[in-house]
Chains A and B, each alone.
Chain A
Amino acid sequence: MTRVNTVLGTISASELGFVAIHEHIGYGMPGCELDSKWWKTPEQRYEETVPKLRQFHENTKPWGAATFVEATGICNGRDIDYYKSLSDKTGVHIVASTGFVGGDTALPFFERASVEYLTDQFVHEITVGIGDTGAKAGIIKVGVSRGFKMKELDLRIYRAAARASKITGAPIFTHLAVDSGPALNIFAEEGLPCHRVLFGHADDGVSQGLINEKALLDAGARIGFDTFGYDLELPDPPFWGRHRRERLQHFLRFLESGLIKQVLASADANCSPLGWPGVKGHTVNYLFEQLIPDLHAEGIEDSVINQLFIHNTAEFLSLTPNPEH
């Protein structure tokens, strides 16, 4: 039996269908809620979000179902009740995260917390629920603070995530794949097999040259090409953007080297950003409108696409408690 936590309940991995493994309904840095320049009415928020999710649902019809993994951590505007209503009304499965996007998004209460407390927080959110929403988190978010260097608080969060993953079986995904040495050490020390960890944003424009891909692959970790669509060809690309062709070639090198089981892909788009302008024209549906046609044009078979978006994701998201625990 396989089990995956979605905001509307635990389901079999067989029900997930097409999975976008790293996306956002809305992300904002902690404190942005105080700045009214970003506020939107509920009407506007639903108006910006619902059509994108409905289109996503429509695009996944050939695969039978749509799953949207929401990568917004604690303190970043994560809003479970809102996700529940969106999921219920659009039919898209939404998997919510526990954890933090990085140490610099953990507010003072969590900054002061021990590894043990952070572990308890993550385990509670995965096994009991998030706040009083009744919804359980399905994945643990960790990440590297700004500056491309792991900070002490980042490491504390990684260690707590490793322990929570072993206890609950929930996978971990990271914000950034840079400075991965300390992360791999922590996972080794904690005895967490690295195939339970997706090192994300390995494809972004600012990380190139800073990622030790070989170390990640040798450790058995998964690699995320999960910022598809942040193309420098956009009218107003973000600073982490990259030329579309260059990202695609990078991705194809992985697909052609027999490492496909270790690769996951997504768009990291915001349906309705919370504390920043967002990137106009970029949605989760880039995967269907641009990426999959690009892959087909390169001669990539449907079986490979299914491997990436159906099988790898289902295996990764299935709660897999560590038997040693």
Chain B
Amino acid sequence: MCVKHSQGALEPLPPFTSLILDPPINEGVNATLVNTVLGPVDARQLGITLVSESLMYVLPGARYAYDIKIDRAAVFDAVAAKLSAFRAAGGRTIVDATGMFQGRDLRLYEALSHATGVHIVASTGQGPESMLGGYFLTPQTNPPTPWPASKFAELFGKEVNDGMVAPRLERRAPAGMVVTAVTHSGMTPTDDNLVRGAARAGATYGVPVFIRSGADALAEMQLAIDEVLEPERLVMGGMDRRDAVVKGWPLAVARAGVRLSIDHIGTNDSLYLSDAERVSLISELIEKGFADRILLSASATGVAFGEPGNDIPYSDVLTKFVPMLQAAGVSQAHIVQMLITNTAQLLSVNGEVK
């Protein structure tokens, strides 16, 4: 993916006070609560949870395309059917992990959650640089300096502390996770600012941070940890990429105490492992004692506009992949841990679950 804009300048060292965001509302909040689009839910009620999915995906700009019509009623029916199938397969919670600028539609998600009974956690955050609007990259200042980490931290933090935005209209429920991404070909200065801003917002407001890895997951991970984010509150995504495995990232991430996301279950192409290879990777990680680090997901797109979706049902993780894990000898306890316990701990605001 090409980098659209001139390389952003690195943020100058900010004064200490600029690192301090507004204090969290409800400080000392019950540590077992998870932010869903319908409000806080006890983490113990989340049940089987997929942490990296998409309900409605819209490539930025696609909603203005002359030949794309978004029929909200049809979108609702299509996503509701997929959520209901997931629930019928035993699933209870879906995290829409595409951030704030790629089709997130809170009122739609609230209605979907009401209608299907599936808990929906929506995310804040943006990235990588190529997905950002010009407001963040070429602001109306002279020179047009791209946004620094402190401003991204404030933008994302407000979505947790004050509620997620329905653009130019209102804020709704607080975000349950901060998601960002790093350019595959290598981290740009703006990606660097996005990662640090996301980590700072997550550390301040107690929600987890999910990074879609770029060319060097371990450096990206360290960048977030250096912002005083607890390793267990951080997820490195794309750990079932072929290059991730070749470079030994999954094990290194687990050893660092960071969560790793096997998040393209059902995808098998030149970029990603096959499901059989995923099973081997997971078995190896469990054998080495890292079951508490592993998260499972499919990155399925409920509906997609502007680029092709993948037509993977959310339920496939449960109906197709879990049987493969069982056949490979992964215990029921470990499967529960990966799909229920790890995710509940991760999504709990402040990271504790009783």
Contact = CB atoms under 8 A, between A and B. Distances in A.
Interface of A: 28-36, 39, 74-75, 104-111, 120-121, 124-125, 128, 131-132, 145-147, 153, 206, 238-239, 275-276
A120 B68 CA distance: 13
A31 B133 CA distance: 5
Interface in B59-88: 59-62, 64-67, 69
The size class of the interface chain B forms with chain A is 35 or more
B101 interface: yes
Nearest to B166: A33
B270 interface: no
Contacts, number: 97
B134 A110 contact: no
Nearest to B159: A34
A121 B66 contact: yes
B133 A109 contact: no
B65 A109 contact: yes
Contacts of B62: 109
B140 interface: yes
User: Which of B66, B139, B144 counts the most A-chain CB atoms under 10 A from its CB?
Assistant: B66
Contacts of B130: 108, 111
Contact of B140 (A31, A132, A276): A276
A111 B168 contact: no
Given A32-B133, A121-B65, A239-B142, A111 B167 contact: no
A31 B135 contact: yes
Contacts of B69: 132
Interface of B: 4-6, 59-62, 64-67, 69, 100-101, 130-144, 155, 158, 162, 165, 167-169, 171, 306
Given A104-B137, A110-B61, A36 B132 contact: no
A305 B132 CA distance: 43
Given A107-B61, A108-B59, A109-B61, A31 B6 contact: no
Given A35-B155, A108-B60, A29 B6 contact: no
B4 A28 contact: no
Given A34-B100, A104-B4, A131-B66, 14 more contacts: A29-B138, A30-B60, A30-B135, A31-B101, A32-B135, A34-B135, A108-B60, A109-B60, A110-B61, A110-B65, A146-B143, A146-B144, A206-B142, A275-B140
Nearest to A35: B155
B65 A30 contact: no
Q: Which 8 A-B pairs have the closest CB atoms?
A: A31-B133, A107-B61, A109-B61, A30-B133, A31-B135, A33-B167, A29-B135, A239-B142
A146 B145 CA distance: 11
SS class, residues of chain B in contact with chain A: loop
A275 B137 contact: no
B307 to A, nearest CB: 8
A132 B171 CA distance: 26
B135 A28 contact: yes
A22 B173 CA distance: 40
Contacts of A107: 60-61, 64, 133
A251 B69 CA distance: 46
User: Which of B62, B64, B141 counts the most A-chain CB atoms under 10 A from its CB?
Assistant: B64
A251 B144 CA distance: 28
B61 A108 contact: yes
User: Which of A28, A107, A111, A147 counts the most B-chain CB atoms under 10 A from its CB?
Assistant: A107
A157 to B, nearest CB: 13
A109 B138 contact: no
A206 B142 CA distance: 10
A238 B133 CA distance: 22
A109 B67 CA distance: 12
A74 B133 CA distance: 12
A104 B142 contact: no
Given A34-B167, A74-B64, A104 B134 contact: yes
Nearest to A240: B142
User: Which of B5, B133, B171 counts the most A-chain CB atoms under 10 A from its CB?
Assistant: B133
